[in-house]
Amino acid sequence: MSNSSPSKDWQKITTVEEIPVLGSRVIQAPAGQIAIFRNSEDEVFAVLDECPHKGGPLSQGIVHGKSVTCPLHSWNIDLSSGCAAAPDEGCAKSFAVKVESGVVWLNREELQATHG
């Protein structure tokens, strides 16, 4: 008997294969538009699709390593924390991600938190 059910606290979002390498997919949730990124090592990250600078669409940025460069003003955002690299300051909300057998899960509670 499993001591925790993935479907209780986690919501299935997509599969790793459905996210382009060095790209992203965007989902709509009560928390807002969430960009789900995949880097060249098949690591998956999820952050609010708004740069902390001017709200640029991070999902359209260039992924490199564990960061994405905002397409508007070239801010580099750490995909693990959602925070801008120095000297820039500010953070986009990041979301907990779990990958099991190629399936991407996001924390249900975080997804339901209303954006604002």
pLDDT tens column, 45-85: 999 999 999 999 999 999 999 999 999 999 999 999 999 99
Task: Encode pLDDT of 90-104 as tens digits.
Answer: 999 999 999 999 999
Task: Encode pLDDT of 10-55 as tens digits.
Answer: 999 999 999 999 999 999 999 999 999 999 999 999 999 999 999 9
Please give the domain boundaries of the chain with CATH numbers for all domains: 10-105 (2.102.10.10)
Q: Which candidate, 39, 42, 27, places its Cα nearest to that of 95? A: 27
Side chain identity at 36, as an amino acid letter? I
Q: What stretches of the chain adopt beta strand conformation (E)?
A: 10-15, 23-29, 32-38, 44-48, 62-64, 67-69, 76-78, 94-95, 97-100, 103-107
